[in-house]
Amino acid sequence: MTGYMGKLLRVDLSAGKVWPEPLNLAYARDYVGGSGLAARYAFDLLGAETAPLGPDNPLIFMTGPVVGTAMPSAGRFSVCARSPLTRLWGESNSGGFWGPELRFAGFDGIIVTGKSETPVWLSIIEGQAELHSAADLWGLDSYDTQTRVRDLLAEPKARVACIGPAGEKLSAMAAVMNDHGRAAGRTGMGAVMGSKNLKAIAVHGKAKVPLADPDGLRAVVKEITEGLEEDMSAMSIRLAGTAGYVDMALMYGDAPLRYYQQAEWDDAGGLSGVLMTEEFLNRGVACYRCPIVCGRETRAPNYGLDQVDGPEYETIMAFGGLMMVGDIEAVIYAGHLCNLYGLDTISTGCTIALACELFERGLLTAEQTGGLEVRYGDALTAHRLIEMIGRREGFGDLLADGSQALAEKLSVPELAVTVNRLEVPMHDPRAFSGMAVTYVLSSRGACHMQGDMYMVDTGQGPAIELGVLPGDRFDNSEEKGRISALSQAWRNLYNAMTLCQFQNPGPDRVLQALNAITGWDLALEELMVLGKRIVTLKRLLNLRLGLTRADEVMPELLQQPLCGGSEGNVPNVEALLAGAYAEYGWDLATGAPTPDTVTDLNLESLGS
């Protein structure tokens, strides 16, 4: 089958063995790649008894058919396992060059099981895999690790995915880092990697992805590239990165302030992406074959840094607006510290902001924090807490397990702004009601990458041919819920191919590219079938891992109306979910897919 390298690498760290395995082509045809294909393999390996940080939890790195081809913005890969943060299906994805380079090294993915007795790292060079001692790498930050591994290989072009100290210390918010400051950040995949004593994976090769129709792909790529000149969203990102959304988000009430409890703030202008571009930007940084160039290389002279990776929008609001820090340079440094230690900036920023709120309410005291006064607006204390989290030192040891664990420890679980234990990102569902469906039904907990209704309802990348239609952002109808479900299915297909969500050439061109690469001859309507099949597979997996219909609720703080850009709107979650469940064919009472849905999506063979 074209579009695939045709092999996975299996790694048993307990036995110290590595071996190639043929790709299951039937799995690939039904679940495509990325997090979809990873979920299908995980379905055979994961049970309710599987401990997230135990040796039996499979850690899966997976690419997709468009990765490493000429398709623009197709440089991504997924990292998946049972999450130590949510205890459900965990997935994260990252850009850069590591994903394509894994394909060039000869493999579509890697499945890691077991636990090494001592720290190790893995190299995959020109199709040959080998485990090495990581005794001299353990304890290094993510940047030094990447440099040292390339030096050990004497291969400067190798790409390295690794963990920092946070992953070694099993922080539930630990990320897998690659290509300097790129991160597979969410759901604690770095902790799973650390639990296996696996420090890094280096990849390099010269293989080419086999294509069914090279000329057809070349033609559609030309159309997509030329079309970017008329894509205002892509052009805006090219100019200011995702940080350019800060001002628009504030206008819409989409940018959370003071731990999701405030809608307007005079000092928010200090976080503007335009300001960051004018005063702190060195250059834009692109992923593999990406003409959009959303990455930022910045500087923080007051912190002695001439070169910093990022920050992007989520990091700016997590360490800026959420904790009332209006100094963009302090936010740049906070993001840099997270990159060093290998931490998800969203979960880390949210957890520190929750600590600020608890301290202000008198629910957290200096005695409990080791003498620290954790207050809104205090960037220096936030910086110190990031380091403490990364090393699991003092109060940082409690914060390292995330917002829900912190709130439960202090007997106020209702104050944690999480869905299924994952921190809510920097898009407020009161500003875009459809995001309530995205968060509540996301397979990994609150996630803005599995349905971006904030983009759809502002006209940025709707998939009109598939029914993903822009509309009233305050609409709380069942129809809006249905559209939100379609958006989620569409983005799950994106995360399977795996294609950057800033690349929105429209379903027709995506279809042409996918068919040219794989030779599948799909029809347009089959794209949505693939997306729904992937969403429903993950649903079945989560039900096995303990998810219940009662878990699908919005946090209490997000049910309080705010003035400003969100105009007092609060999503009607039940009405929205009724539409989404109907679209997916899931039972509204139990949350389970109906028998007809299982049959229609060809999922009967999965069982339970």
- In DSSP notation, 483-494 reads HHHHHHHHHHHH
Whether residue 164 contacts residue 341, with contact meaning beta carbons closer than 8 Å, is answered with: yes
Domains of the chain: 7-204 (3.60.9.10), 241-411 (1.10.569.10), 426-606 (1.10.599.10)
Element (H, E) at 109: strand 109-113
Whether residue 364 contacts residue 421, with contact meaning beta carbons closer than 8 Å, is answered with: no
Higher pLDDT, 461 or 9: 9
| Confidence band of 602 (pLDDT split at 50, 70, 90) | very high
Residues forming a β-bridge with 133: 120
How is 401-434 classified by DSSP, letter by letter?
A: T-HHHHHHHTT-GGG--EETTEEP-S--TTTSTH
| Confidence band of 608 (pLDDT split at 50, 70, 90) | low
Q: What percent of the chain has pLDDT over 70?
A: 100
Residues forming a β-bridge with 18: 11
Summarised one tens digit per residue, pLDDT across range 111-156 is 999 999 999 999 999 999 999 999 999 999 999 999 999 999 999 9
C-alpha 317: how far from its chain's center?
A: 16
Smallest CA-to-CA distance from 91 within 19, 138, 23, 41 is with 41
Query: Residue 36: which residues within 8 A CB-CB, separation 6 or more?
Result: 492, 493, 495, 496, 530, 533, 534, 537
pLDDT of 574 > 90? The answer is yes
Whether residue 348 contacts residue 183, with contact meaning beta carbons closer than 8 Å, is answered with: no
Residue 473, Cβ density class (10 Å: 0-12 exposed, 13-18 middle, ≥19 buried):
buried
pLDDT of 71 > 70? The answer is yes
> What pLDDT, on a 0 to 100 scale, did the predictor assign at position 232?
81
Structure tokens at 196: 């296996």
Residues forming a β-bridge with 130: 123
Write phi, then psi, for 229 (nearest 5 degrees): -65, -20
Residue carrying the six token digits 């040796």: 55
pLDDT of 460 > 90? The answer is no
pLDDT of 351 > 90? The answer is yes
Write phi, then psi, for 281 (nearest 5 degrees): -85, 130
> What pLDDT, on a 0 to 100 scale, did the predictor assign at position 89?
98
